[in-house]
Structure 1
Amino acid sequence: MDLRLLRYFVTIAEQSTFTNAASLLHISQPSLSTALKKLENELGLILIDRSTRGLKLTREGEILYEEAKKLMTHYEHVSDEMKRIKTYGPPELAIGVIESSIFWVPKVIKQFKAEFEDAHISLLEVLSLKDVIKALNNFDIHLAVTNQYINSKDIQTTPIYEERFVAILPPAHSLSEKSDIEIYDLKDEPFIISKEGFRTREDVLNVFRQASIQPNIQFEIERLETAVSLVENELGITVVPENYIKYSKKGTFHTKEIRDANSTRTVYLAYDKKRYLSPLVLRMITLIKEFY
């Protein structure tokens, strides 16, 4: 399939008229119409509905547009990456992370930098499922450490470890003297939880569902740091991944294991398997897998 013809087709679809598309592509309108017909003949499909006055894609045309757009974006990214490498040297590496991973990710990066000391690394917090998928599809990140399982044929999602949830209590809470607690102990407490769309929210709610308990939700937040701050100010209690508390600075709160609940979650490594993955990206993927 000719990439030039696909680019013409994508431009036609986005400009909505042959005139505008031809002008943008710097070719004549008859040449553009001929190119489209050639693509349709090659595929054996009608891509533009010519029975209507305005330009309208057929169902086949809509499918091709979506896939061709991904291909063009990928092609442009690889082309730009090669030009950048030629001009500026080693490429950048962008990693999406969740809050509980930022305490072990630097250990992997340290090992990575020993091998690629000139590489420039960006760490971006991508928390919700929508954010992770968008960042991967837009090439904002090369890979993601996420607690979201991504059900997509284009994205490889590999489990790398599990982590427990623990309860966080205010400094003078009545449960602070107990060595551990039961989920029922939290039933009527003012509860702090992640907003809708965050996998952590569903994981925590599942812990309560297992005990047939509805938490008394008083606050909805995006970052675990905010939840802990609210707890320290005695505004409620929360449940967070153990790794976040284990490696964070000590605060004025109490951490308690939840004795009677299956309170764990899986953390995944995700990347677009159809995207060009440079040796640096592949090496980082290997190091993360080897770390666990």
Structure 2
Amino acid sequence: MDIRQLQYFVEVVKHKNFTKAAQSLHVSQPSISKMIKALEEELEVVLLDRTERKMDLTDAGEMVYSYATKVLQLMEGMASSIAELRNVERGRVKLGMMPTVGSFLLPNVIALFKKQYPGIDIEMKEYSAKLLEIQMEQGSIDVALTVLPMDQEKFEAVPLLAEDLVAIVHREHWLAGVDEVSLEQLKDEAFILFTEEYAMHDVVRHACKLSGFEPNVAYMSSLWDFVGEMVATQLGISLIPRSIVRRLNNGQLHTVNISYPVIDWQYALIYRKEGYLSHATKAFISFVEKMYSHNQME
């Protein structure tokens, strides 16, 4: 079995498309098809159920994909370990982060880290909180800036900062003259939520249920700015982290504190419990942990 067969197969599964996989690997599509066919013949199973409109994994394909991702992660770990033996001052950290959040939590930390470790490159990608865990399981990223809670059986967490969620309303809304409100008092309001792939969606729904009601969802969006604009045009209200309110910078919005229940929004850096962590990744995790523990002590 050729390691390239596993690489090509995993890439096809990730993209669910032979052409996109070929472009990602910088090889021809026939080369990928030939490799996967050879893998199927060697294992004497069908790995991919192909139709004109979609491509799904067979049961055997699911099993091979699970093993293949682990093998490739081990291979990458071996290569990284050898590179560290040659030169421990060089390396790469694949960092995933939630959109917008990383821009106010990490820039200064990364700048200071680069001064101390100029030979370590940081590759940054943006995903929703839910996708971050999936990307980490697949080995696409080494560490992730996300929000708690997370799967404690799979990941370790370095707590960073915590803040509360607040309500934002139009300045002519009945809440515009109020500084504080309980979540229960908002049960008749139209809510603008983030889409279901974002952790914020679940957090708000859960808080509303604890307060005895199911939120009336008027609209959903995946963009912070767009949520703010919809509130500014009186299409509804929304609950967002306090730090995001300051970034919206919209004169049509009024912020209202939630008195009960207090909805915590805890940021953390997470990484896999099992699997290889490169010297560069360990150095980055340690550096971030020290920076935030120092800031909290001041």
Q: TM-score, normalised on structure 1?
A: 0.70
Consecutive unaligned residues in structure 1, runs of 5 or more: 15-19, 33-47, 49-53
Consecutive unaligned residues in structure 2, runs of 5 or more: 11-33, 48-59, 294-298
Q: Given that residues 168 and 237 in structure 1 are in contact (C-alpha distance below 8 angstroms), is that contact kept between their aligned partners in structure 2? A: yes
Q: Given that residues 171 and 234 in structure 1 are in contact (C-alpha distance below 8 angstroms), is that contact kept between their aligned partners in structure 2? A: no
1:105 paired with 2:103, answer: no
1:202-217 mapped onto 2 (5 Å cutoff): 202-217=202-217
Tell me the amino acid that sits aligned with residue 286 of structure 1: S
Tell me the amino acid that sits aligned with residue 177 of structure 2: E
Q: Given that residues 10 and 68 in structure 1 are in contact (C-alpha distance below 8 angstroms), is that contact kept between their aligned partners in structure 2? A: no
Q: Given that residues 143 and 269 in structure 1 are in contact (C-alpha distance below 8 angstroms), is that contact kept between their aligned partners in structure 2? A: yes
Alpha-carbon shift at residue 9 of structure 1 (Å): 11
Alpha-carbon shift at residue 258 of structure 1 (Å): 0.7
Residue 71 of structure 1 corresponds to which residue in structure 2? 70
Structure 2 CA distance for partners of 1:115 and 1:175, relative to 1, 3 Å: same
SS of 2:123's equivalent?
strand
Q: CA RMSD in A?
A: 3.8
Residue 251 of structure 1 corresponds to which residue in structure 2? 250
Structure 2 CA distance for partners of 1:233 and 1:21, relative to 1, 3 Å: closer
Q: Given that residues 159 and 266 in structure 1 are in contact (C-alpha distance below 8 angstroms), is that contact kept between their aligned partners in structure 2? A: yes
Q: Which has the larger radius of gyration?
A: 1
Q: Given that residues 93 and 123 in structure 2 are in contact (C-alpha distance below 8 angstroms), is that contact kept between their aligned partners in structure 1? A: yes
SS of 2:249's equivalent?
coil
Residue 241 of structure 2 corresponds to which residue in structure 1? 241
Aligned partners of 1:223 and 1:24: how far apart in 2?
44
Structure 2 CA distance for partners of 1:241 and 1:101, relative to 1, 3 Å: farther
Q: Given that residues 175 and 256 in structure 2 are in contact (C-alpha distance below 8 angstroms), is that contact kept between their aligned partners in structure 1? A: no
SS of 2:115's equivalent?
helix
Aligned partners of 1:63 and 1:185: how far apart in 2?
48
SS of 1:261's equivalent?
coil
- Equivalent pairs counted in the alignment come to 252
Tell me the amino acid that sits aligned with residue 213 of structure 1: F
Cα displacement string for residues 165-214 of structure 1 (whole angstroms, at most 9, x for unaligned residues): 11111232221111222223322222110122322111111221222122
Alpha-carbon shift at residue 276 of structure 1 (Å): 2.7
Q: Given that residues 101 and 243 in structure 1 are in contact (C-alpha distance below 8 angstroms), is that contact kept between their aligned partners in structure 2? A: no
Aligned partners of 2:4 and 2:230: how far apart in 1?
54
Q: Given that residues 128 and 198 in structure 2 are in contact (C-alpha distance below 8 angstroms), is that contact kept between their aligned partners in structure 1? A: yes
Q: TM-score, normalised on structure 2?
A: 0.69
SS of 2:174's equivalent?
coil
Alpha-carbon shift at residue 273 of structure 1 (Å): 3.3
SS of 2:176's equivalent?
coil
Structure 2 CA distance for partners of 1:127 and 1:9, relative to 1, 3 Å: closer
Q: Given that residues 77 and 277 in structure 2 are in contact (C-alpha distance below 8 angstroms), is that contact kept between their aligned partners in structure 1? A: no
SS of 2:177's equivalent?
coil
SS of 1:207's equivalent?
helix
Alpha-carbon shift at residue 215 of structure 1 (Å): 1.8
Aligned partners of 1:189 and 1:258: how far apart in 2?
14
Structure 2 CA distance for partners of 1:193 and 1:64, relative to 1, 3 Å: closer
1:250-289 mapped onto 2 (5 Å cutoff): 250-252=249-251, 253-289=253-289
SS of 1:102's equivalent?
helix
Residue 121 of structure 2 corresponds to which residue in structure 1? 120
Tell me the amino acid that sits aligned with residue 113 of structure 2: F
Q: Given that residues 100 and 241 in structure 1 are in contact (C-alpha distance below 8 angstroms), is that contact kept between their aligned partners in structure 2? A: no
